[in-house]
Chain A
Amino acid sequence: MSQEATCNAAGSSIANETVGQVVDRGPLSLGRILTNRWFLHTVSIVAFFWLWDWLARSNVLGGGSSALARPYEVLDQLVVLAHEELAELTLWGHVWASTQRVVIGFSIAAVIAVPLGLFMALNRYVNAIVKPLFDLLKPMPPISWISISILWFGIGETSKVFIIVLGTFVPCLLNAYNGVRLVEPELYDVVRMLGGKRRDEILHVCFPASFPAIFAGLQISLSIAWTCVLAAELVSARSGLGYIIVQGMNLSQPAMVIGGMAVIAAAAWGTTLLVTALERKLCPWKRKIVGL
């Protein structure tokens, strides 16, 4: 406070305009612990696993082979899968198989759809040509393509990657397109007033302004990519996390099914973190959303 006062007196003109943040660090009390965020996180996680275990133990969802696996059984199963091979691959091999498909399909879609979306927003002729085709194909759920893609490409990698490309193409393109469309038009005026040309408007306003929207599209695409790869693997595959789930079902091993589900969630989460990290690196200006 006194620091600020001296600053003002010395004529430093903005000291009174900066916004400071004060973190209140009171003494620890029971009330503070009970309302602590991390404490509450722990409580809810422990409660979840306890409820799960209780449901499994009391056979609410049926007994025997259709029973809900207990948490430690799932963990056991995952340890076994990590060491022993299932269809010539350990758990890591299967994780890698699925991840590879996601990454390839997602990358192909992003590399084509994002520039195409930007072009559509920037050039009305490109827009007029691409938009009707896009609108025609957009409402079709990507999973509905599985059968035809197996007929076309067989049950190998190509058909799975094809499904992922189809599914992730739409949000990638739409977000890039809308990102450019929603740019504040006066920002273009700023560039023109500063002596910029059309090229500068695109380079210095269009692209950076649509970055956050593009990344939002990439995040949505990524979760769709995992849905697609799983669907494709459930239909036909000899590797991948979907294959583990199908095997668990065929062998009547709920622990294996749930284990596969958990690993998919973990893998999807991991790839999301990668994209988030990339976004942080490329858009340091984006305000962090607090609390989520």
Chain B
Amino acid sequence: MSQRAAFLNRIRSRLPQAELPEANPNHPGSFRGYTFAVDTPPADLVDRFTQELNALSGQVYPVKNSQDITEIIQQILHKHGVKQLISWGSDSLELHQFVAELTAAGIEFVANELPATAAERKAKLAALDKIKVGLTGAHGALADTGAIALISGPGRGRLASLLPPVHIAILPQQKLYPSLPAFLAAHPEATTAGSNLVFIAGPSRTGDIEMTLTMGVHGPGELHVILTP
């Protein structure tokens, strides 16, 4: 018998003796059809999202056009004294004319493709680790928690939102949802579209030493969300 068959058979043989309150084996689907409460009307989504993300020490910048994005990114790069970004491909970024403008101004957009061999992979990681700012788009955002959703795919790596100490994300306003369940209901494909769907709610944090809140322990310590119309 295969390992799998033996494993599942063992479970099958135990199930009849299991005392499982609330389980309803005769009507397996009977608990379906739960309706989630929605407490943020569409008109309040931006305010609620901003408020929640601010509470987690994330920044929100509503913008009108690509020019505004150029300025904000320049300010952030200037503050950290750097001229490089690990970035998603420009076709995955909203209003991406700013990429050309910033490139012309001497800013370097680095893609984070990791090579297949182990040694090359480590070398590339070490090089990427020196870059202080990461730039991504976003596939959605949750107003009730201030989280943004990112789906991996061609030109959309995970490292841009993970490796550098600063993460900038560009989020179109129409991608705001009241909650995680609402986002999942609207995007059933989100989980399987890429190998990774991640919800990011503010900068990385820990409270492991004496429950003292500290930012940026492994992931970025700064999160800037640029909200496009």
- Check if A and B associate: no
Residues of B at the A interface (CB closer than 8 Å) are none
Residues of A at the B interface (CB closer than 8 Å) are none
